[in-house]
Structure 1
Amino acid sequence: MRGWLLAVCLVVAGQVAAQEYFGDARPDAPELAARGSLQVGVRTLVTEHKDQLDLLHASAEQPNPRYTRKLTLEVWYPAQLAAGQKEHTVYTDVLGAGPNDPKRPNTPFQFNGRAARDAAPAPATAGTRYPLVILSHGYPGSRLQMSYLTENLASKGYVVVAIDHLESTRADKANFASTLLNRRLDDLFVLNTVAAWAKPGSGNFLAGVVDADNAALIGYSMGGYGALNTVGAGVSATAAAYVPGGALAINQQGNPQYEAARDPRIKAVVAFAPWGGANKIWDAAGLAGVRTPTLFISGDQDDVAGYKDGVVKLFEGTIHADRYLLTYVGGRHNSAPNPPSPAHWSNPDDFQSYSEPVWDSRRINNINQHFVTAFLGIQLKRQPLQAYLELPPLQADGTVKEDPGLWKGFPKRAALGLEWRHLPAQ
């Protein structure tokens, strides 16, 4: 009898999982987590960044080998669906810790998405093109690991381009030095690529649709590192020594080539659990180079990026940027990804690579949708959403008094476990 009940439960659980869409709002979701009014399309594109330093094959005998970095992109956008076309797709991602790990072998898995594959783009209204959001995953990670957020933003009038960073995904994870070097270079290359696609007559489906001059970066973990490095946080001399042959000097604070590459098209950054603050990646001068408004999001028990010696250090050190810090009390490093799929449950390490031990991932997803919607709406669309970010400051004991009347957009009693800080640019 017990075995029969277990079998029934497994069948029901499988049916529920098959119908689940990550990012759907829980009943207690904050107001701005709700999906927008636009239909969403999704396409997979591939682009090639030619003549790049092949760091993994550099040697004393051949210090400057070159190769082409093939980058797979997932693009979400406002869409016009054809008759009978539905906002449904199935994404295929990879479990594991990287190639050649027998304890966690690379294994494909699938999950549902609320987007219509290869749908026609919706023309921008009133001649205004959709702002661009570029998303950068962790190490290792993938372009698909935050689909709850990418789909949500596309439904609100953004074109979202998520990158599979070569040598940094679960499918092709390689030496960490490649990730340190290439995140900023990949981000800027994708920005330039989308800008070319956006031009009328380019032949790309985004021609006349996306506004690459009005862009934001969203980065998780090493993606957060790359985003900050892209907008002015030049790495320290100590960090430059982490990469053989002095290659990381191209991303170093004080390097004229680096300083000249600051891109004014990037108007905002969202940094989820950004790595580097606890690892001497930046000194004070490097962090002071950031002038782009930034929303930091972290758990106060983050044991990968660090919290007080990591994310808080970055938040406090980016003194020339208007910045916010959302903290999940009791949260660890997984403040950004989708919930674990059913496939993750077969291996504790795979499960823990997406899950949080205390927080429900779906609740985190909804809260992220809410605050990112407000922040990007202000920075990229000039929407009157500032009240959603004017939350009570920390009190003397480092906590926020629970008062639902002070947390605009949150249901009664639903702000528990969150802390909020704001520091204006100096």
Structure 2
Amino acid sequence: MKAVGKMAMHLVMGAAAMAAFAPVGASAAALAPTAEYYGDARPDAPELAARGPLRVGVRTQVIEHAGQLDILRATAGNPDPRYTRKLTLEIWYPASLAPGEKEHTVYTDVLGSGPGNPARPNTPFQFTGRAARDAKPAPATVSSSGYPLVIVSHGYPGSRLQMSYLTENLASKGYIVVAIDHAESTRADKAGFPSTLLNRPLDDLFVLETVAGWSKAGSGHFLAGRVDTGNTALVGYSMGGYGALNAVGAGISEAAVAYVSGGALAIHQQGNPRFDARRDPRIKAVVAIAPWGGAGKIWDAAGLAGMRTPTLFIGGDQDDISGYEDGVLRLFQGAVNADRYLLTYRGARHNTAPNSPPPAAAAAGFEDFMAYAEPVWDSRRINNINQHFITAFLGITLKGQPLQPYLDLPALPAAGTAGPDTAEWKGFRKRAAVGLQLRHLPAQ
């Protein structure tokens, strides 16, 4: 029986268990489940969740950002220590597969909440993906400029692999997708929160600049001539959402600067000339999933008004980490100068971004399990819905595709009422949009 290694053993019934429900005479081969990967479409998946037509390759690369402020070692006597930040990247891309080469790889990640935590130790686990490791990249046939770039930023703590259901899916649709392991912010190396507050937007912009260098003809990189960095999107989850919003102009408040001693966060503050000068016109879209900071008053009205980049917000209305009424909804409403959407999962908490189901190893501990799971939602359904709406949004903003009807949707009935047929939502089958709300506010 082939499944997603140890991670997905709880996804499929064993052959013996299935045989108990099988018709008499059914063969073992007929009963054997097919391979299942994160992001595979459920029968009720909306239309645009389907994988694209392109084959997908994946590679891992480490880059170094020298001369960065080492905020965790700054003291009154040494307020400006510097270090090199090493960032591990996972890169998914359209690929040209050799005869017999399969879209199959094994990723290795860890559970836990940082090193040296006996309550949640770093426990390695593996899972499979639909991508060919180190495959030959496909020619850039989408345009003379190459494939649009999508930069993906995880939560705190998290990893570059925690949204592979989305990264693989987007690569199959003609994007170069680069996910970052943010140093001092992964499950393997979690350190003090000030590092995450300082470095998230800086890491995003450094990766964009690095990929722009790789994309140049003659760079010698496998992505040379294949990436259109002039059409870039940032996708961020939780603290990744915080970093993405700040990177496109949502300057933090004066009160938020004081969260870290020494004034290091002032480089992210609205009105700081250094912050205002770093706005990068190559970033054309943002997807902010459960973005942190609204409830923490990281942004005031003026800071949120600094955003002008089209943004898709995604969140659960029971989010107990980022908040909803005072968190994600507040950010959506406050970004008055950006064209923006808000997709709300009614009854969902904070975990509206990670791969689902949780890895099998997470079953050993409540906290690790709940870092992936949603209490009232089948998160595999969330994965598919995210694929659908993000495909529409990025197709419109980065490629100019005629997908606007997938976002111009009628309001669904209020919670607790049956209302009209939810097949009115384009791309959704009957009943399959229940529990969702999509709102749109144009730039003022």
TM-score in terms of structure 2 length: 0.91
1:391 corresponds in structure 2 to 409
Match 2:62 to one of 36, 46, 50: 46
2:334 corresponds in structure 1 to 317
The answer to whether the aligner puts 1:74 opposite 2:90 as a matched pair is: yes
| Residue correspondence of structure 1 range 364-379 to structure 2 within 5 A | 364-379=382-397
Structure 2 letter corresponding to 1:138: G
- Equivalent pairs counted in the alignment come to 419
Shift of 1:300: 0.4
| Residue correspondence of structure 1 range 184-223 to structure 2 within 5 A | 184-223=201-240
Secondary structure at 2:393 match in 1: helix
The answer to whether the aligner puts 1:89 opposite 2:101 as a matched pair is: no
The answer to whether the aligner puts 1:403 opposite 2:415 as a matched pair is: no
Q: 2: CA distance between counterparts of 1:406 and 1:207? A: 43
Structure 2 letter corresponding to 1:89: T
The answer to whether the aligner puts 1:151 opposite 2:168 as a matched pair is: yes
Secondary structure at 2:86 match in 1: strand
Secondary structure at 1:127 match in 2: coil
Q: 1: CA distance between counterparts of 2:44 and 2:246? A: 36
Q: 2: CA distance between counterparts of 1:401 and 1:161? A: 41
1:116 corresponds in structure 2 to 132
The answer to whether the aligner puts 1:37 opposite 2:53 as a matched pair is: yes
Shift of 1:414: 0.6
The answer to whether the aligner puts 1:62 opposite 2:69 as a matched pair is: no
Q: RMSD of the TM alignment (CA)?
A: 2.0
Q: 2: CA distance between counterparts of 1:400 and 1:262? A: 45
Q: 2: CA distance between counterparts of 1:388 and 1:115? A: 27
**How has the CA–CA distance of structure 1 residues 75 and 406 changed in structure 2, closer, same or farther, with 3 Å as cutoff?**
same
Secondary structure at 1:278 match in 2: coil
| Residue correspondence of structure 1 range 104-183 to structure 2 within 5 A | 104-125=120-141, 127-183=144-200
Q: 1: CA distance between counterparts of 2:72 and 2:215? A: 33
Shift of 1:18: 10
**How has the CA–CA distance of structure 1 residues 401 and 273 changed in structure 2, closer, same or farther, with 3 Å as cutoff?**
farther
Shift of 1:98: 1.1
Instruction: Indicate if the aligned counterparts of 2:423 and 2:432 stay in contact, CA closer than 8 A.
Output: no
**How has the CA–CA distance of structure 1 residues 227 and 9 changed in structure 2, closer, same or farther, with 3 Å as cutoff?**
closer
Q: 2: CA distance between counterparts of 1:18 and 1:53? A: 49
CA-to-partner distance for each residue in 1:91-115, whole Å, 9 max, x for gaps?
A: 0001001111101100110001000
CA-to-partner distance for each residue in 1:122-152, whole Å, 9 max, x for gaps?
A: 0111534100000000000000000000000
**How has the CA–CA distance of structure 1 residues 111 and 89 changed in structure 2, closer, same or farther, with 3 Å as cutoff?**
same
Q: 2: CA distance between counterparts of 1:51 and 1:18? A: 49
Secondary structure at 1:247 match in 2: helix
Shift of 1:84: 1.4
Match 1:250 to one of 254, 257, 267: 267
Q: 2: CA distance between counterparts of 1:314 and 1:285? A: 12
Q: 1: CA distance between counterparts of 2:177 and 2:72? A: 30
Secondary structure at 2:406 match in 1: helix
Structure 2 letter corresponding to 1:109: F
1:284 corresponds in structure 2 to 301
Moved more, 247-256 or 15-24: 15-24
Secondary structure at 2:433 match in 1: coil
Consecutive unaligned residues in structure 1, runs of 5 or more? 1-5
Instruction: Indicate if the aligned counterparts of 1:227 and 1:269 stay in contact, CA closer than 8 A.
Output: yes
Instruction: Indicate if the aligned counterparts of 1:17 and 1:342 stay in contact, CA closer than 8 A.
Output: no
TM-score in terms of structure 1 length: 0.95
2:258 corresponds in structure 1 to 241
Instruction: Indicate if the aligned counterparts of 1:394 and 1:421 stay in contact, CA closer than 8 A.
Output: no
Q: 1: CA distance between counterparts of 2:13 and 2:438? A: 40
**How has the CA–CA distance of structure 1 residues 195 and 141 changed in structure 2, closer, same or farther, with 3 Å as cutoff?**
same
2:366 corresponds in structure 1 to 348
Q: 2: CA distance between counterparts of 1:315 and 1:422? A: 9
Instruction: Indicate if the aligned counterparts of 1:326 and 1:418 stay in contact, CA closer than 8 A.
Output: yes
Structure 2 letter corresponding to 1:153: L
Secondary structure at 2:302 match in 1: helix
Shift of 1:155: 0.1
1:21 corresponds in structure 2 to 37
CA-to-partner distance for each residue in 1:372-401, whole Å, 9 max, x for gaps?
A: 000000000000000000012477889995
Instruction: Indicate if the aligned counterparts of 1:402 and 1:415 stay in contact, CA closer than 8 A.
Output: no
Structure 1 letter corresponding to 2:218: G
**How has the CA–CA distance of structure 1 residues 375 and 9 changed in structure 2, closer, same or farther, with 3 Å as cutoff?**
closer
Secondary structure at 1:314 match in 2: helix
Structure 2 letter corresponding to 1:355: A
CA-to-partner distance for each residue in 1:152-209, whole Å, 9 max, x for gaps?
A: 0000000000000000000000000000000010000000000000000001000000
Instruction: Indicate if the aligned counterparts of 1:387 and 1:408 stay in contact, CA closer than 8 A.
Output: yes
Q: 1: CA distance between counterparts of 2:324 and 2:415? A: 17
Moved more, 120-129 or 269-278: 120-129
**How has the CA–CA distance of structure 1 residues 11 and 311 changed in structure 2, closer, same or farther, with 3 Å as cutoff?**
same
CA-to-partner distance for each residue in 1:339-369, whole Å, 9 max, x for gaps?
A: 1111111111111000100100110000000
Structure 1 letter corresponding to 2:397: Q
**How has the CA–CA distance of structure 1 residues 254 and 402 changed in structure 2, closer, same or farther, with 3 Å as cutoff?**
farther
Structure 2 letter corresponding to 1:21: Y
Moved more, 124-133 or 198-207: 124-133
Shift of 1:243: 1.0
The answer to whether the aligner puts 1:382 opposite 2:397 as a matched pair is: no
Shift of 1:403: 2.8
Shift of 1:319: 0.1
The answer to whether the aligner puts 1:413 opposite 2:431 as a matched pair is: yes
